[in-house]
Amino acid sequence: MDIKKYDFITGIPCSKLKGLTDSIEKYIPCTREDESVAMAAGAYLVGKKPLVFMQNSGLGNCVDIIASLLKPYGIEIDMVVSRRTEPAHHMLMGNITGKLLNLVNYEAHVEVIE
């Protein structure tokens, strides 16, 4: 992934994304994934090229904002999602990450990191 093409980067730190986040000089960390998506949507609306990164466990927090803000207004935000299946509480979201993105019909580039 060419991180240099993005001029607004936000997300939730994750150990699986450490290599990616270590290469980012400046980003805005958030406390919730939907908060990151909302900030990225605002950046998109003022002409920025945003990127959001998160764990798949937080993708569920983003379903409403994808369905009620991004999809209706044609806002396309690239996302990097780390797919986690361990520990056990991550297993369900880890197994349905791709299906969930398909279900909400989100076409923007989403890269899932194993």
| Structural domain spans, the chain | 3-113
Selection from 13, 8, 72 nearest residue 42 by Cα: 8
Q: CA 48, CA 31: separation in Å to the nearest integer?
A: 21
The CATH H-level (homologous superfamily) assignment of domain 3-113 is Thiamin diphosphate (ThDP)-binding fold, Pyr/PP domains (3.40.50.970)
Tens digit of each residue's pLDDT, the chain (114 residues): 788 899 999 998 777 777 777 778 788 999 999 999 999 999 999 999 999 999 888 888 999 999 999 999 999 999 988 888 888 878 888 888 888 888 888 877 777 776
> pTM for the full model?
0.88
